[in-house]
Amino acid sequence: MMKHPILCLALLSAAPLFGGITREGDGAVMLDQETRMLSFQLLAKEKLDHFAADGFDAGKEKIMQEMQKNPARYIQRNVARAQMETIFRAEMEKQLQGELDALIQSTACKLNPQTQAALSAAQKATIDERMKLHFPTAFDDVRKTLAEKERKSQIFTAIYPSGKELETLDDAQLAQRLLERFNQSRRQPIMEENRPYLQNEVISPVIAAARKQQKIQHEALDQLRIPQTLWGTDEIKRFIQTELRSATVRDCPEAQANFIEFPSISKKIDQKAKSIVSERLGDALELDAKRYRALLEKEPQRHVTPAMSLERAREVMLPDALQAAKKTIHAPATLTVDHHDPVIRQKFDRAATAKFKSLRDDYAQAQIRRVWPDFDEWLPRLEETELFVRQGEKTLPAVADRPKSDEVLFSETEVKIEAAMQKKFAAESRRLKAQLQAVDDFYRHVTDECRKIKQQHSDNDQSFWQWLFGITPDALTLEKVIEVYEEKVVQASSKPLFPAAKHEIDIRSRAILQLLQKPASKKEVTLQDEEKQVKAFTLVIGGTSDTDGTLQLGSWQAEMSDKQASANAVAAEVKRQIEGQNVSVILAIEVTNAELTYRRVAELREALQELLPDAMVQDSYRK
């Protein structure tokens, strides 16, 4: 029980607190006043100790009335708590003050200022204690009661989403939309305490149930089978709608009161009702292969491509096929059939494409035999193959041997001819590459043997050349070397030889002869023309690739470019160095770049020989 120190102090010193100074002869009056004061103090202490000890229903009822009277003002809990605390305290102070006033009146006490101050302090202390003890619980009870009452008073089915909303919004957007709609349906927003309830117990279950309806309807519509006895669009539509509602209510009881119509479902119902008859007819179509073959033979120009042919076949064959299909599926005689119906056309096109493909392939093969009878034996010309390879082996060159024909060829015919030609060109391309490889292999073999002979200092060893060519090196001619070279290449690959292979053989045959020739010495040149001195130049070719490198003639250097530019630069330098001199020129080419092909060296040597006809141009090229 709370103690009131100020009031207790007043009780201990009660006499000075009341009235004025006691006059002589007033003893009886003074005793009476002291008795009343003592009685008041005891009763006041008891009143304070027991005031609102077990609760304060009057304050609880007061804040209940206030929040019910102005609910919009107290939507927010923190706002309501601050204002209700003031109201609760005021009601408590009012009631306590009334009880103390009644006590003062009943005891006929007159309180001096000191006693009044002590009593006020004791009142405040009592109110503070009772507020801490009772207000939080009272406020929570009132808010809970009002929230429950508010929940029971709402009709939440009014916030069910529409089918369009379910198909265009996600769950988070739907929840926000339903919350806004719920608030709009009320004169004021709901209490803060009811927002989680609204979200978790109302909105979320409503969305889940609506999504369940959506799933059930889509699945039921996909699995629904229409009785064969129904043929009219309207009656089929009514049947689907009835079955769909039954399936939805069966698996989602909430749909009994809140059945949702989804735009996409309604659209699918319309499409299904309109297309079911067309699908039945399309599935029953029978296509006449003999009639199609006759169309190809009669009017091939209208069947050049599969698309053209399909369009023509649909135009000629579909109407009759539809009439036959009606009889097959026992459709009503009054049923109208539109052969332009997209479902029927799609069914016909799919069946015709699959069934008539082999017929078109057979026709294409027959066309090839007619327009190019010897196509199986045909091979591209050698020059055509070389052009094919130069173009990257992707683009077919023009073929001179292809027969001319006035017959309109099917697209499949063209494709088959081109594919076969591609294979033949590819085979000839491989043969060309094999020949060029054989050319290179033979050249390597000869030059390797020559290098071995030189390393062994066997310049007079003629056994290899005798074995290879049948004659001694001194008796070899360019024609003989080319003859043997071509025989070796044909043995290693096949014949006939391609022009490119023959050209390579010619260049490398000249290189082989160059290997066998001994360079003319200064003495030999002088004997030929004693009046001239011999001036020898060494042209060094260096670099790192077949197209790059440098030319060096003594201290003179130049970058290599194309063969003619390189030859011009060397010839100009030689002429500059011998200008005004009566000399014979020996120009020896020395190759330091092992990657440089002999073709490059031979082309440069021949170009120099043309520009310096009086000079002896030779090379020491070894690969």
* Cα distance between residue 285 and residue 534, in whole Å: 99
108-137 tens-digit pLDDT: 888 888 888 989 999 999 999 999 999 999
**Res 520: pLDDT:** 41
Helices (H) and strands (E) in the chain, counts: 22, 5
Residue of 377, 447, 427 lying closest to 619 (CA atoms): 447
0.85 surpassed by pTM: no
User: One-letter amino acid identity for 12?
Assistant: L
Range from 35-49, 230-244, 507-521 carrying the lowest mean pLDDT: 507-521
**Res 96: pLDDT:** 93
**Res 30: pLDDT:** 67
Alpha carbon dihedral 555, 556, 561, 565, in 10-degree steps, equals: -150
Q: Which two tokens stand for residue 465?
A: 């050349």
Q: How confident is the model at residue 541 (pLDDT cuts 50, 70, 90)?
A: confident
Q: Which residues contact 187 (CB under 8 A, 6 or more apart)?
A: 72
Q: Could you tell me how far CA 130 lies from the centroid of its own chain? A: 69
Q: SS3 for 325?
A: helix
**Res 201: pLDDT:** 81
* Cα distance between residue 549 and residue 590, in whole Å: 13
Percent over 90 (pLDDT), the chain = 42
Give the 3-state secondary structure of 114-151: HHHHHHHHHHHHHHHHHHHHHHHHHHHHHHHHHHHHHH
* Cα distance between residue 504 and residue 511, in whole Å: 11
- Is the distance from CB of 278 to CB of 257 less than 8 angstroms? no
Q: Where is 480: in which H helix or E strand?
A: helix 478-492
Sign of CA dihedral 165, 169, 175, 180: negative
**Res 597: pLDDT:** 64
Q: How confident is the model at residue 53 (pLDDT cuts 50, 70, 90)?
A: confident
255-265 tens-digit pLDDT: 888 899 999 99
Q: Could you tell me how far CA 187 lies from the centroid of its own chain? A: 49
